[in-house]
Amino acid sequence: MELQAASSLSEQEIVRREKLSELRKLGIDPYPPESFLVNVTAKDILENYERDKLNYKDISICGRIMSIRDMGKACFAVIQDATARIQIYVKRDEICPGEDKKLYDLVWKKLIDIGDIIGIKGYVFTTKTGEITIHVLSFKLLSKSLRPLPVVKTTEDGKAHDEVSDPEFRYRQRYADLIIHPHVRENFRKRSKIVQSIRNFLLDAGLLEVETPILQPIPGGATARPFITHHNALDIPLYLRIANELYLKRLIVGGYDGVFEFAKDFRNEGMDKTHNPEFTVLEFYVAWKDYFWMMEFCEKLLEKAVTDLHGTTEVRVGEHAIDFKAPFKRVKFFDAIKEASGEDVRNYDEQALRAFCKKHNIQTEPSMGRGKLFDEIFSELCEKKFIQPTFILDYPVEMSPLTKKHRSEPGLVERFELMVNGKEIANAYTELNDPIDQRQRFEEQLKERERGDDEAMYIDHDFLRALEYGMPPTAGIGIGIDRLCMLLTNNDSIQEVLFFPQMRPEKFS
């Protein structure tokens, strides 16, 4: 087996495996089982040493070697822990006194590599050039790296570049990407902070965090193509959820005043810079409220999350400075289309809408009804124009099968979407709680499915039964966490805010 594995190794990998054997011959375990006490981080040292030097006379730290400069009887190296990179100084006569000098020459000059993980003990000092450095008094190899790290290089003009700038490499080998790109690790720290800020906001508002099924007998709560699997014991098909809406509303029926869930949803659709088949959505529902209340609550939530992350409500996204200071602008759905096209399409039938789409070079499919046509028109003509946070209000009833009809405008529903930087970030309703109206909407969706729309909703009879027990007036919203994180970390690709985005499987020989 070892010979077969070796045949596919690079020359550098073979050399590193030979070093592994040499270490073991010297009685050095390259993967020791013992824990290593850490009493400080690189970031702590860099930020606080100059103010309080006495606290750094006896430090213990672990890290990955990122560079080595051999100077004969000593060497400088840079190690990286989870917080930062810091220089270390290793002097032969101090870590290997007397007859052990040969061990230093063998281990540090020949057997230690960039990428190896070590634990060190020593003290902190400042070099003649002013760089904060750890003077190493003892070290321990904690993990031998058998695969060389991609190396960051510098061009003649001093600009850094590296050989893992290719997204194909970075997303497949995210572990290597995280090792050599501190800013990527920082993106995911920011993502965690965004989620934590939102969670705290909702908990402080009295909402209950819950969990609902991922495997569902009916893929409800959205118009999307699901992934399907089969449960052997029950001998039934099951679907990965496309949304958690209908289960959360069941909990409102059950007597909770407010519930929320950070949910992994799955949709068997195309992939691009804003879509991944597995994604994270926050949905929450609050009894006794409507979509006007939800707009104000959403503004406060996002204003707080942005401020917690950046210390201000304004963020830089590409060439735009986007301000999340409430209140956000509000524009009606059909007013946006009229402003973009010069036509009021509100009362157009399907034939007129198809003619409108042809006139404006908007592609359509025979399976599209009025709802899908309206959606396509808005997406093509309007969506990209809304850079600052903007609520789009009052959608046509055909687009919103789970939304309460508008209290004063026939043919519309009480729904808003939040657009930021030309993309939808949130979708909210005054929730439909009339079981008879809901059944009729499901039946209309069934007709759309029969005409070829495989994203149309199924009839969820259990959800209808729940509504028949009575659901209080409720406001609900879904917020795309991945897209929000893209915005707040200034990334234009969803793959940059997912640790492991979906990719075509590799072929290993």
pLDDT in tens, 131-179: 999 999 999 999 999 999 986 665 555 555 555 678 889 999 999 999 9
Lookup: tokens for 313:
């409500």
107 and 13, same domain (yes or no): yes
130 and 235, same domain (yes or no): no
Please say which residue of 149, 169, 195 terminates a domain. Answer: 149
DSSP 8-state secondary structure symbol assigned to residue 265: E
409 and 261, same domain (yes or no): yes
Residue 178 forms part of a structural domain? no
Whole-number Å distance between alpha carbons of 109 and 453 = 66
Residue 171 forms part of a structural domain? no
Residue 348 forms part of a structural domain? no
CATH no. for residue 238?
Answer: 3.30.930.10
116 and 191, same domain (yes or no): no
Element (H, E) at 377: helix 370-381
CATH no. for residue 88?
Answer: 2.40.50.140
301 and 404, same domain (yes or no): yes
304 and 435, same domain (yes or no): yes
Whole-number Å distance between alpha carbons of 259 and 257 = 7
- Over residues 179-189, the mean pLDDT reads 96
pLDDT, tens digit, 9 for 90 and up, residues 26-47: 899 999 999 999 999 999 999 9
User: Domain span at residue 295?
Assistant: 183-328+388-497
20 and 79, same domain (yes or no): yes
Residue 438 backbone phi and psi in degrees, to 5: -65, -40
Residue 281 forms part of a structural domain? yes
259 and 124, same domain (yes or no): no
pLDDT, tens digit, 9 for 90 and up, residues 404-417: 999 999 999 999 99
**Which residue, chain included where needed, has tokens 């209340």?**
293
145 and 191, same domain (yes or no): no
pLDDT, tens digit, 9 for 90 and up, residues 240-289: 999 999 999 999 999 999 999 999 999 998 899 889 999 999 999 999 99
127 and 242, same domain (yes or no): no
Half-sphere exposure of 150 (CA within 13 A, CB side): 18
149 alpha carbon, distance to own chain's centre: 25
Residue 507 forms part of a structural domain? no
pTM: predicted TM-score of the whole model, two decimal places? 0.91
Number of structural domains found in the chain: 2
- Over residues 95-101, the mean pLDDT reads 67
With b for 16 or more beta-carbon neighbours within 10 A and e for fewer, the 419-453 pattern comes to bbbebbbbbbbbbbbebeebbebbebbeebbeeeb
217 and 140, same domain (yes or no): no
Residue 126 forms part of a structural domain? yes
Residue 324 forms part of a structural domain? yes
Whole-number Å distance between alpha carbons of 502 and 271 = 9
Residue 73 has what pLDDT? 86
DSSP 8-state secondary structure symbol assigned to residue 107: I
Q: What is the mean pLDDT of the chain?
A: 92
Residue 175 forms part of a structural domain? no
Using DSSP, state whether 23 is helix, strand or coil: helix
Neighbours of 463 (CB within 10 A): 24
285 and 395, same domain (yes or no): yes
